[in-house]
Amino acid sequence: MSEFRELRRTYGFDEVAIAPGTVTINPAMTDTKFSVGDISIDIPIIGSAMDAVASPEFASEMHTQGALSVMNLEGVQTRYESAQDAIDEVINTDNDKVTSVMQKIYSRPIKEELIPRESLKSRNMALFVLSLSHLQ
């Protein structure tokens, strides 16, 4: 018989606020680096996996700056030669029609050749992927 586990409470963007504290610290005495597995991150920022945010170029720039980016390999970046055109179509669509436009955009098949494989192979690229099913 399987055992039920209780899930931990998680928080979304709307539930988290950052407020200045009253304690000051010398910036020279701080270290914001952390590591996930064998990937070291200089800046404690992780870019969102939203299609309108995480392009291969953005992920590369995040890495250059010392942060981490997450790409969704089942998003528009791997369905369209020009992902920005698909994103612009969503942006420019009336609110009452945006659902059908998004369904149309995401119904297009994934193009294996658009997966940024070289970035994923590089150990220097701090790029996490939400869908590994297309990397086989």
Written as tens digits, the pLDDT of the chain (136 aa) is: 578 888 888 888 788 877 777 878 888 888 888 887 777 788 888 888 888 777 878 887 888 888 888 888 888 988 999 889 999 999 999 999 999 999 999 999 999 888 776 555 554 444 455 444 444 4
- Rounded Cα distance between 24 and 80, Å, is 48
- Please report how the helices 83-91 and 98-107 are oriented relative to each other, as an axis angle in degrees rounded to 10: 160
Rounded to 5, what percent of the chain is helix, strand, coil? 35, 10, 55
Instruction: Give the C-alpha separation, 46 to 113, whole Å.
Output: 26
8 Å CB contact between 71 and 129: yes
